[in-house]
Chain A
Amino acid sequence: MKIWKKLGLVALSAMMVLGMAACGSKSSSADSKKHTITFMYRGGEDEKKAYGQAIKQFEKTHKDVKVKIIVTSADNYATKLQAAISGNKVPDVFYIEQNNLLAYVNNGVLKDISKEVKKSNVDLDNIWSYGVNSYRTNGKIVGKGPLYGLPKDVGPMSLGYNKTMFEKNNIPLPDKDKPYTWDQFIEVAKKLTKDTNGDGKIDQYATGFNVNWSLQAFVWSNGGDWTNKNKTKVTINTPQFAEALQYFADFQNKYHITPSAKEAQSLDTYQRWMKGELAFFPVGPWDLSTYNKLKFDYDLMPWPAGKTGKSATYVGSLGIGVSNKTKYSQDAVELAEYLSTNKKAQKTLVDAGVQIPNLKDMAQIWADDKSLKPANREEFLQIVNDYGRAMPAATTYNSEWYDVFMTDIQPVLDGKVTAKEYVKKEQPKMQTKLDAANQQLKATAQK
């Protein structure tokens, strides 16, 4: 046989096989009238499992819908989603990170789901207003306007303490309603920092705060902030801000109540906390499934309060949004509603220990349940309801201006640069980036 003919035959038969396969799938879907919507999300192992379960439950109540799941690791999510959007293959339903909301809305990626949600019998008043408002926007600011998503969860960052360690050292437990002052905090911390096995090396520290996730609590409770309210001006060069940053850096350099960066690298503070070698550590709801298995007892407390006398911390959130281009908007919105607000789905997720309930009434019951650990879960609810704030860059067009702050901060933490010098030097850099972000926002909002 001629080569040409041979090749032609191979190609033809390949096409036939493909063609048959295509016909096959078409006809079978037509039979049952089933259609597929895609859902893209991210998370750790426990979270993936819990959400997979919730989606199965959804499919049981929606017989005609099949949910195709695309799941990524937390690190890869943003890149993969953006690639999908650029390639015009937006999943029907997907997680939205708070700081991407404005960009996604202004570029027509997300669907306005106000009407659909109103029509369905979802009681928005029973969902954390912080959660719902994080996904409202008029294209200029976040918090007002049509609804572009529902909260997947709200993530209050509370402070945990090692109860067993307190008891062993005969130190009175922290009050759950009255925060420590900064001086009190240092006093207690110094007592808890010590060499427990007598080898001359300190092996039990009070704190081990990562600047990325803990500095906010100190800055805010001291009356400082990264920007003004309108997010137009970087305000790190205030005395309150500098004082808080200096206080934070002094944990390592002056008070020596925290492992140095070098020590922390060898055994990071998360591991130290889990081994019971740290007295205080931040605790988020997603940590509970892990921390409840630890060998020591722990509980939650308010963050130490600076000049304002009030505790402060941040609440994160992830949202579930619907693509503007989805063919099955009804089902897509229903899936978002189901995961965010359905009682059964919420129970599955809360039982898995990966989040607190989105529904207020359910959350109260959960917080009051005496059989669960840690005892003061009420603190989470207070943060969401009362004193928690959004991360500084959560509602700006991008987070570049804020990243600069964290990129350059190491010399301050190492005690080589004072906080005062640092904020003075960093402010103009950050301001330029924030201006650029706001300009971009303006340009996209006008369209």
Chain B
Amino acid sequence: MTEETVVDKKKKTFFHHDSKLYRDEHRAALLMIVLPVIGFTVFTLLPLIYSIFASFTNWNGLGEMTFTGWRNFQLMIKDNYFWQTLGNTFYLMLGIPIGLILSFLLASALSRGLKGTTFFRVIYYIPVISSLAAIAIMWQWAYNGDYGLVNQVLALVGIKGPNWLQNVHTVKPAIIAMSVWKGLGYSMLLYLAAIQSVPKSFYEAADLDGANAFQKFKNITWPMCRPVTFFLIITNVIGGSQIFTEINIMTPTGGPEYSSATIVWYIWQKAFKNFQMGYASAMSMILGILIFIITALQFYVNRKSDYKLS
């Protein structure tokens, strides 16, 4: 027997399902997988099922549940605050396109290899790694009507700024501006990676064809970044639907006349303050379904977004 045949034999047994090594590794792999699966089941799946059930009951979170069928959902239709907070939540999502455009522009600027790129990358990324609570408190001060940073800067150019967080008309734009600022660095970094990974040959080919800068942007850069845009929209919409921390810190009572109360904030109020855990569960069901539909729609619209070289 030559050495080669020995190796061949070993190879065979290695891939053979009955081999001891295979079984051992298989077991080990299972063990590794089991942990997150248990975690998911205990902390996500079971509470989800429980919550689905609770949404059909009148339950105060303390005592017994009484089954009430669709009653919670009927109540919801008539609940003005439900619609208002849902509307507020979507209003706040206006920040998503703004944030994407800004971060794309920034990424384009930074990808030109100017001096100090690294410095700016770090600067823009700092808000991303900072604690959201700390940022919310800082912006709360910045928005202060009298001595806040924002109004002081406006005063320099002769504009008398409003009392941002206490005014029905300005509180939502104020929060949008904050979340755009906070999310900028993250989106920018992803765009930067996408832009830099576009093969140079594409641009060279376009140059040969006499394409101008706008055409190159429209036909090369932007399409090549589409998967990133898609990813960012999906994650931002999901995150935006669940916006809570900054609301609860900057406007702890839901803002003037509930103008900054979001749906998750309202759900939390109902569940933990007003003993309506059943109703709160029902609202979170609706929210979950809404997010699911929106995400599914986006996947449908973007089904051709995968770029293939061939």
Binding site for B on A (CB under 8 A): 2-4, 7, 78-79, 82-83, 85-86, 103-104, 106-109, 261-263, 265-267, 397-400, 403, 406-408, 410-411, 440, 443-444, 447
Contacts and interface: CB of A to CB of B under 8 A. Distances in A.
Given A265-B166, A410-B166, A107 B253 contact: no
B49 to A, nearest CB: 16
Contacts of B197: none
Interface in B244-278: 253-254, 256-258, 272-277
11 contacts: A4-B28, A7-B28, A7-B31, A82-B62, A85-B62, A103-B60, A103-B62, A106-B63, A398-B276, A440-B275, A447-B63
A408 B272 contact: no
Given A83-B272, A266-B144, A410-B256, 4 more contacts: A78-B273, A79-B272, A108-B63, A407-B253
A407 B60 contact: no
B61 A85 contact: yes
A2 B31 CA distance: 14
List 7 A-B pairs, minimum CB-CB distance, nearest first: A266-B146, A107-B63, A107-B62, A262-B145, A398-B274, A266-B147, A4-B24
Interface of B: 24-25, 27-28, 31, 58, 60-64, 66, 144-148, 163, 166, 253-254, 256-258, 272-277
Nearest to B277: A86
A406 B254 CA distance: 11
A108 B60 CA distance: 12
A301 B242 CA distance: 47
Contacts of B146: 262-263, 265-267
A179 to B, nearest CB: 31
B257 A262 contact: no
Contact of B24 (A3, A85, A109): A3
Given A3-B24, A265-B145, A407-B254, A397 B275 contact: yes
A444 B258 contact: no
Nearest to B254: A407
Nearest to B29: A3
Contacts of B163: 261-262, 265
Dominant SS among interface residues on chain B: loop
Given A7-B28, A103-B275, A265-B163, A407 B63 contact: no
Contacts of A78: 272-273
A398 B275 contact: yes
A107 B145 contact: no
Contacts of B166: 261-262, 265, 410
Nearest to A103: B275
B68 to A, nearest CB: 10
Contacts of A265: 144-146, 163, 166
Nearest to B164: A265
Contacts of A400: 273-274
Given A79-B272, A265-B146, A266-B146, A86 B62 contact: yes
A252 to B, nearest CB: 13
Given A407-B253, A410-B256, A82 B272 contact: yes
Given A2-B24, A261-B166, A398-B273, A444 B63 contact: yes
A439 to B, nearest CB: 10
Contact of B61 (A82, A266, A411): A82
A407 B265 CA distance: 14
A414 to B, nearest CB: 9
Nearest to B162: A262
Nearest to B166: A261
Given A107-B60, A109-B62, A400-B274, A266 B145 contact: yes
A398 B60 CA distance: 11
Contacts of B66: 443
A407 B274 contact: no
A407 B256 CA distance: 7
**Chain A CB within 10 Å — which of B58, B63, B148, B276 has the most?**
B63
A440 B62 contact: no
B62 A407 contact: no
A431 to B, nearest CB: 14
Nearest to A401: B274
Contacts of B277: 86
A440 B253 CA distance: 24
Contact of A407 (B148, B257, B272): B257
B253 A3 contact: no
Contacts of A83: 272
A385 B64 CA distance: 39
A210 to B, nearest CB: 12
A57 B277 CA distance: 39
A407 B258 contact: yes
Given A3-B24, A4-B24, A399 B274 contact: yes
Contacts of B24: 2-4
Nearest to B140: A265
B62 A408 contact: no
A400 B275 CA distance: 10
A411 B61 CA distance: 35
A329 B274 CA distance: 29
Contacts of B144: 265-266
B257 A444 contact: no
B124 to A, nearest CB: 30
Nearest to B80: A429
Given A7-B28, A265-B166, A408 B257 contact: yes
Contacts of B254: 407
A262 B25 CA distance: 67
A4 B27 contact: yes
**Chain A CB within 10 Å — which of B28, B146, B257 has the most?**
B146
A440 B28 CA distance: 53
Nearest to B63: A107
Contacts of A406: 253
A7 B275 CA distance: 46
Contacts of A107: 60, 62-64
Contact of B257 (A3, A266, A403, A410): A410
A399 B275 CA distance: 10
Contacts of A267: 146
